[in-house]
Amino acid sequence: MRASLVAFTAALLQPTTALQLTRRQLASAVGAGTLAPAATRADVPVDPFNSMCFGFGCAPAQGVDSLGAPAPTDEDSIPWKQALELIDAKKVKSVEFDDVAMDKCYVVTADGRFRVGEGYPIENGRSWSSPLFVTRILDNNQIPRSYIGGLKRRSS
């Protein structure tokens, strides 16, 4: 068994003779787009999210262009982009969420408490958008968070 595994590995390390290219040259040609892999489908565009699959049946990422939540109509709010700028400027003291679902987010600064509206990440099964990314940003910037509704499950 070991001998056959060694022979197989040695064969993989040998340059390909049919194309007169080494495996490294072949991989760089595929990566540069000058030589398409055999499993490339014309209906699936190659982008950074699916190009690493090299034809192993990976599906394209869905919803990468999600715009997040719309601006709320029931109260004043600031866009998510502005909230990120406040976080980067170290002006955010804490963040409050409505409940554990984190559908509503309030940023607390020295100037007041602001609802985050347009562009706020929402949970969507067909996109990469999620409020969990907000908690990661808060953890990375060491900003405390709290839950207005508490951590209890609401019954309907």
* pLDDT score of 153: 59
Q: Where are the domains of the chain?
A: 2-53, 80-147
pLDDT at 62 over 80: no
| Whether 61 contacts 49, CB under 8 Å | yes
* Order of strands, sheet of 92-97, starting from the edge strand that comes earlier in the sequence: 112-116, 105-109, 92-97, 145-147
Distances (CA, A) of 88 to 92, 135, 141, 142: 9, 15, 8, 12
20-54 pLDDT, tens digit per residue, is 556 666 666 656 655 544 445 556 566 655 555 55
Residues 6+ apart with CB under 8 A from 75: 115
* pLDDT score of 108: 95
CATH of 80-147, one of 1.10.3470, 3.30.1490, 3.30.720, 3.30.300: 3.30.720
CA atoms within 13 A on the CB side of 42: 0
pLDDT at 59 over 80: no
* pLDDT score of 11: 58
Q: What's the mean pLDDT in 45-71?
A: 60
**Taken in order 48, 44, 125, 67, is the CA torsion positive or negative?**
positive
Q: Over pLDDT 70: what percentage of the chain?
A: 51
Tokens linked to 75:
């109260």
Looking only at the bridges linking them, the beta strands covering 145-147 and 92-97 are: parallel
Which of 6-15, 32-41, 74-83 is the least confident region? Answer: 32-41
Whole-number Å distance between alpha carbons of 142 and 156? 34
What is the identity of the amino acid at 116? V
* pLDDT score of 129: 77
Q: Which of 119, 45, 35 is nearest to 77 (CA)?
A: 119
